[in-house]
Amino acid sequence: MTNTSPSIIVDSTPEAKAAFYAELQTYVGLEVGEPTPGPDEVNAPMIRHLVEAVGDRNPIYTNPELAADSIHGGIVAPPTMLQAWVMRGIDGPARGGNGPYEKMNQLLFSRGFTSVLGTNSEQSYKRYLRPGDHLTMRTVIDSISDEKTTGLGTGHFVSTRQDYFDADDQLVGSMLFRIFRFKPAAKVPPAKPQPRRPRPATTYDNQWWFDELGEGRLCAQACANCGRVRFPTGPMCPSCHSRSYDKVELPLSGTIHSFVVAHYPQVPGFDYPLPIVLVDMDPSTSHIGKLGNDRVRMIMNTADSAESALAVGARVRIEIRATDPDMKLPFAVIDPIGATS
């Protein structure tokens, strides 16, 4: 079926949609094409080919003696072969035309319902078919649903009913075949996984600091000789030059000393705009009075904080969060009602 609609009509109001649906319903009950006679009578060779292909060994389909002793009194065809007796071979039925089915499709095409998917079929049977029966099929448009939305898109379910009659014009079976005419849903590209943050450059002198973060502790460094508290970590005390040090656990709170919001360049692994704050850490309670204890500053990103809340002097609490399975870092959460100093 070719879409010959020159343009897509958009029914933007409930009234327009209702009018379109009402027009679709005018095709329900109309016969599709001329009655289609089967090219062959029901016959034993075709029955045998089918049951061998599907592995159905019921003798009433292929064994004349056993079938004669059954309630059927002779060979019968598997009921599910109903449609096979009117099929036209590899060339299929004739296409084209300007009948009700083609006009219905053009109406659907005019609204953009150009994609199609066969959804299901249901067969019902009045009697068994026997070799020598010659069937004729008549097709009608059985129903057209209102607009439905599925995972594939939005459209209408169209059901046709094929009724099969024998040579005496007696109904022997029917098949309901349903398709979905739809507008494909817009494809959302799959979300790319967030790249990991760049790994810090670690050495013997700072790896312990990241290890402490991994355990949920935010630390500075204190000289084991003179007690001076310092950060960033380093191999030697800047006051007495001692190389011995202690770990100093800091409170998870502080005050914004300064900040900047980075826009470019954008490094993979970060969300932009990217607030970066320099935090004056609250002094450690274990090193009160020691040189540098009130001067520890750390650079970190904010979390769960509006950019408008950034202000010099704003109070923050520090949360240690995992940025990926292998790394934790401190983040500043701004107190929205905290006083600035």
Q: Give pLDDT, residue 10.
A: 87
Asked whether residue 341 is assigned to any structural domain, the reply reads no
Instruction: Judge if 19 and 83 occupy the same domain.
Output: yes
Please tell me the total count of domains within the chain. 2
Q: Give pLDDT, residue 191.
A: 79
Question: 178-193 burial string, b = 16+ CB within 10 Å, else e?
Answer: bbbbbbeeeeeeeeee
Asked whether residue 47 is assigned to any structural domain, the reply reads no
Spatial contact of 324 and 198, defined as CB atoms under 8 Å apart:
no
Alpha-carbon gap, residue 101 to 83, rounded angstroms: 19
Band (pLDDT 50/70/90 cuts) for residue 88 is confident
Q: Which uninterrupted H or E stretch holds 255?
A: strand 253-262
> Over 90: is that where the pLDDT of 133 sits?
yes
Q: How many residues does the chain have?
A: 341
Q: Give pLDDT, residue 293.
A: 79
Q: Give pLDDT, residue 340.
A: 52
Instruction: Judge if 116 and 25 occupy the same domain.
Output: yes
Alpha-carbon gap, residue 270 to 324, rounded angstroms: 12
Asked whether residue 259 is assigned to any structural domain, the reply reads yes
Contacts of 168 (CB under 8 A, 6+ apart): none
The pLDDT tens digits for 283-333 are 998 888 888 878 899 999 999 999 999 999 999 999 999 998 889 999 999
Q: Give pLDDT, residue 98.
A: 84
- Tokens 């790394």 label which residue? 327
Instruction: Judge if 130 and 22 occupy the same domain.
Output: yes
Band (pLDDT 50/70/90 cuts) for residue 6 is low
Instruction: Judge if 165 and 259 occupy the same domain.
Output: no
Instruction: Judge if 148 and 27 occupy the same domain.
Output: yes
Instruction: Judge if 100 and 232 occupy the same domain.
Output: no
Indicate the residue among 150, 184, 218 that finishes a domain: 184
Q: If you average pLDDT over residues 188-213, what whole number do you get?
A: 88
Instruction: Judge if 95 and 223 occupy the same domain.
Output: no
> Over 50: is that where the pLDDT of 339 sits?
no
- Reduced to 3 states (helix: H, G, I; strand: E, B; else coil), residue 132 is coil
Q: If you average pLDDT over residues 56-61, what whole number do you get?
A: 94
Q: Give pLDDT, residue 3.
A: 53
Phi and psi, residue 261, nearest 5°: -115, 115
